[in-house]
Amino acid sequence: MPQQETSPTKSGASSRRAWLKGVAAAATGPILLLGERAPVLGSGSHTYEFVSDWAKTPASVQFGYTHGVAVDRQHRVIIHNRSKDAVAFFDENGQFIKSWGPEFAVGAHGLLLNVEDNQEFLYLADPERGLVAKTTLDGEYIWTREVPRESGVYTSPKQYKPTNVAVAPNGDVYVADGYGLSYIHQYSPKAEYIRTWGGKGSAPGRLDCPHGIWLDSRGPQPVLVVADRSNARLQYFSLDGQSLSMVTNDLRRPCHFDQRNGELLVPDLYGEVTIFDRNNKLITHLGDNLNVWKTKGWPNIPHDQRVAGKFVSPHAACWDQAGNILVVEWISDGRVTKLRRVA
């Protein structure tokens, strides 16, 4: 592709633009035509530039479904995806640093980074193998936990398919069985079983695909918020499992969470990323792609239908230290977008 052209005619410019659009359609991701700027989403203090294909992988690293994302204290972005490089690290500019975790190639899903006694740990959920693991950032295992037989709710290990993890201030661990029987399981910091609640249903206290779980510390007391995805709501619980309240507005299929400065970030599988204020009132929807989930082949739609500025299937999202947002989508070859905060 030529780097520069001098004084093109009107017809020549039109031909070149058509040619460039053809290249964009055939490429492996959205391409901005020369002279075009990245789409800008939101407004006011929630204005972001949509940076497509942010993560730059070497030829030896190919993403599978991108399921989880977190940012560590070194500003490294960690992406949990279904490939041999299941736990992949990138610098602030999207350059690949390292990876590990081929054992998660088939089942990589939830990813939580938690700071404990000034050390960072990862909690990794694998619904295909039916386990949750706690590791260091270098991949050293602290513990693994499989089906909680003590709960008495499973007749087969295959029924247990954990999707995400939350950790309380005292170190207790909460596991959401999002793809299994829709229970929440509580453990001690050493992964010793404590209790179970939930189960499939729509009544208060019941859940239908509790896909994400998060310790919400924005209020006077920490509570658990669950992305009750198939019920299209958020459900709040006390740390001992008592149902407290629900959020039912402005949601389609909520997946997971992050929080910053009193705001809650909610990636929504049906084509948008939502931000709520401290009172869970809508601030904005970002990249809204209404009814994209009805597209033939969704979420694995052709690359020329993955429009810059619009999401396909947001599965996880998080803020970095500068207030930018990283979004990963449930797409077979992965999709990682940075929403760069516009000052």
The boundaries of the domain holding residue 160 are: 29-341
Assess if residue 202 is contained within a domain: yes
Assess if residue 22 is contained within a domain: no
Non-local CB neighbours of 146 within 8 Å, separated by 6+ positions: 130, 131, 157, 160
The pLDDT value given to residue 36: 61
Q: What is the mean pLDDT of residues 45-49?
A: 97
Per-residue confidence band for 33, with pLDDT thresholds at 50, 70 and 90 = very low
Digit-coded pLDDT (tens) for 14-32: 333 433 333 333 333 444 4
Per-residue confidence band for 6, with pLDDT thresholds at 50, 70 and 90 = very low
Assess if residue 33 is contained within a domain: yes
Digit-coded pLDDT (tens) for 115-170: 999 999 999 999 999 999 999 999 999 999 999 999 999 999 999 999 999 999 99
Assess if residue 10 is contained within a domain: no
Cβ atoms of 286 and 41 within 8 Å: the answer is yes
Pairwise CA distance, residues 185 & 152, whole Å: 11
pTM for this model (two decimals): 0.89
Which residue's entry shows tokens 């030829």?
59
The pLDDT value given to residue 343: 74
Digit-coded pLDDT (tens) for 82-111: 999 999 999 999 999 999 999 999 999 999
Helix then strand then coil, in percent of the chain rounded to 5, is: 10, 40, 50
What Å distances lie between residue 155 and 83, 127, 183, 193, CA to CA? 30, 17, 14, 17
Assess if residue 5 is contained within a domain: no
Pairwise CA distance, residues 84 & 135, whole Å: 17
**More reliable by pLDDT, 18 or 52:** 52
Assess if residue 2 is contained within a domain: no
Pairwise CA distance, residues 71 & 324, whole Å: 11
**More reliable by pLDDT, 108 or 8:** 108
Assess if residue 17 is contained within a domain: no
Q: Residue 315: give its domain's CATH number.
A: 2.120.10.30
Q: What percent of the chain has pLDDT over 70?
A: 90
Cβ atoms of 189 and 172 within 8 Å: the answer is yes
Assess if residue 4 is contained within a domain: no
The pLDDT value given to residue 37: 78
Q: How many domains would you assign to the chain?
A: 1
Pairwise CA distance, residues 259 & 319, whole Å: 8
